[in-house]
Chains A and B, each alone.
Chain A
Amino acid sequence: MKKNEMQLGAIRLARRQLLKSLPLAAALPAMMYAPQVLAQAKIDITRGRVEPMPIAIPVFPGNTDELKQMGKDVSEVIAKDLERSGLFRPLDQKAFLQELSSLDVQPRFADWRTLAAQALVQGSVDMQPSGQIRIAFRLWDVFGGQQMEGKGYGTDAANWRRVAHMIADLIYSTITGESGYFDTRIVYIAESGPAINRVKRLAIMDQDGANHRYLTDGSALVLTPRFSPTGPEITYLSYFRNVPRVYMFNIDTGRQEVLGDFPGMTYAPRFSPDGNGVTFSAALNGNSDIYTMDLRSRKMVRLTDNPAIDTSPCYSPKGDQLTFASDRGGSQQIYVMNADGSNPQRISFGTGKGRYGTPVWSPRGDLIAFTRYATSDGNFYIGVMKPDGSGERLLAQGFLVEAPTWSPNGRVLMYFAQSPNGGRTRLFSIDLSGYNQREMVTPQDASDPAWSPLSP
Chain B
Amino acid sequence: MKLGFVGVVAISVAIMLSGCAKKPVQTQQATAAAPAPTPSAPPPSGPAPDSIEYFNTVVGNVVNFAYDKYDLDAAAQSKLKGQATWLKQYAARTLTVEGHCDERGTREYNLGLGDRRANSVRQFLIAEGVAANRIKTISYGKERPACVSSDEACYARNRRGASVAQ
Contact = CB atoms under 8 A, between A and B. Distances in A.
Given A283-B112, A309-B113, A420 B150 contact: yes
A421 B119 contact: no
Given A242-B138, A420-B150, A221 B112 contact: no
Interface string B102-122: 011111110111011011100
A311 B112 contact: yes
Contacts of B118: 286
Interface residues of A, number: 53
A422 to B, nearest CB: 3
Contacts of A300: 1
Contacts of A302: 3-4
Given A197-B144, A422-B148, A311 B138 contact: no
Contact of A263 (B5, B68, B111, B123): B5
Given A244-B111, A422-B145, 13 more contacts: A196-B147, A200-B143, A242-B138, A243-B138, A262-B3, A263-B3, A264-B115, A286-B118, A287-B6, A288-B112, A332-B106, A357-B108, A358-B108
A311 B68 contact: no
Contact of B108 (A196, A284, A286, A311): A311
A24 interface: no
Interface string A356-381: 01100000000000010100001000
Contact of A403 (B1, B104, B107): B107
A285 B119 contact: yes
Contacts of A244: 111, 138-139
A198 B142 CA distance: 11
A373 B104 CA distance: 8
The 10 tightest CB contacts between A and B, nearest first, are A286-B119, A422-B148, A420-B150, A357-B106, A309-B112, A288-B112, A283-B115, A195-B148, A268-B108, A286-B116
A355 B115 contact: no
B1 A299 contact: yes
Contacts of A373: 104-106
Interface residues of B, number: 35
Contacts of A357: 105-106, 108-109
A378 B70 CA distance: 21
Contact of B145 (A195, A282, A288, A311): A195
Interface in B82-114: 103-109, 111-113
Interface string A402-442: 11000000000000001011100000000000000000000
A311 B3 contact: no
Contact of A223 (B5, B103, B107, B123): B107
Given A195-B145, A264-B115, A311 B150 contact: no
B146 interface: yes
Contact of A268 (B8, B105, B111): B111
A340 B5 CA distance: 21
B149 interface: yes
A28 interface: no
Contact of B138 (A265, A327, A418): A265
B138 A309 contact: no
A221 B143 contact: yes
Contact of A402 (B1, B106, B120, B143): B106
B115 A224 contact: no
A211 interface: no
A261 B1 CA distance: 9
A312 interface: yes
A402 B108 CA distance: 11
A226 to B, nearest CB: 11
A239 to B, nearest CB: 8
Nearest to A243: B138
Nearest to A237: B111
A223 B112 CA distance: 14
A281 B112 CA distance: 9
Contacts of A224: 107-108
A325 interface: yes
A355 B138 contact: no
Interface in B1-46: 1-6, 8
Given A286-B115, A311-B109, A196 B145 contact: yes
Contacts of B107: 223-224, 402-403, 448
A196 B139 CA distance: 15
A357 B112 CA distance: 12
B41 to A, nearest CB: 38
A223 B106 CA distance: 12
B111 A265 contact: yes
21 contacts: A196-B146, A263-B3, A265-B138, A268-B108, A268-B111, A281-B108, A284-B6, A285-B6, A285-B119, A286-B70, A286-B120, A286-B123, A287-B116, A311-B108, A312-B108, A355-B105, A357-B106, A373-B104, A378-B104, A402-B106, A422-B148
